[in-house]
Amino acid sequence: MEQQPPTKPVGYWLNRTDAALTRYLDGMLAADGLTRLGWQVLNVIADDPEATDAEVLAVLTANGEATELAGTVESLVTGGWAARPAPGRLALTDEGRARFARVAVRAGAFRKRVTAGVPDEEYRIAVAVLERIAHNAEAAADAAGYAGGRR
């Protein structure tokens, strides 16, 4: 049996998926004073006890503009989630670690919900394919000299 092509192009599904993930996460995290981008920043800080503003920007450059990321970092510091142990450095506060752990439980349940029915191998393949498409598109834009960030 011949497989039918998708009814919508990859860009449609990328945009629709991103919008749905953001809508749900922003709603789920609002009670904690967080957004999806804030949650992503916290994950970078939690993963690296030596995290810097530059690292957050490098890791999340595709997730937000530099000014948006800087504002999010400052809101996390102001909100008690993170602190600056040295200039340009970031670390979770004790309170931030405890709050992060509580939110992580809900985030984990959300990940299970949105990947329900998707076998691990298919998930890995989907991510690998999207990664290749992103690299190809970035290389094409760079080669053509098109300006702009990688947002």
Q: How far apart are CA 95 and CA 80, in angstroms?
A: 7
Assess if residue 149 is contained within a domain: no
The mean pLDDT of 79-97, rounded to a whole number, is 97
pLDDT at 151 over 60: no
The predicted pLDDT at position 7 comes to 87
Q: pLDDT tens for residues 89-99?
A: 999 999 999 99
The predicted pLDDT at position 49 comes to 84
Q: pLDDT tens for residues 43-64?
A: 999 999 889 999 999 999 999 9
Our count of domains for the chain comes to: 1
Picking from 58, 25, 54, 50, the residue whose alpha carbon sits closest to that of residue 39 is 25
CATH code of 62's domain? 1.10.10.10
Evaluate the CA torsion angle 109, 29, 18, 21 in order and state its sign: positive
Assess if residue 129 is contained within a domain: yes
Q: pLDDT tens for residues 15-44?
A: 999 999 999 999 999 999 999 999 999 999
Q: How far apart are CA 98 and CA 38, in angstroms?
A: 16
Q: What range defines the domain where residue 72 resides?
A: 10-142
Q: How far apart are CA 36 and CA 27, in angstroms?
A: 9
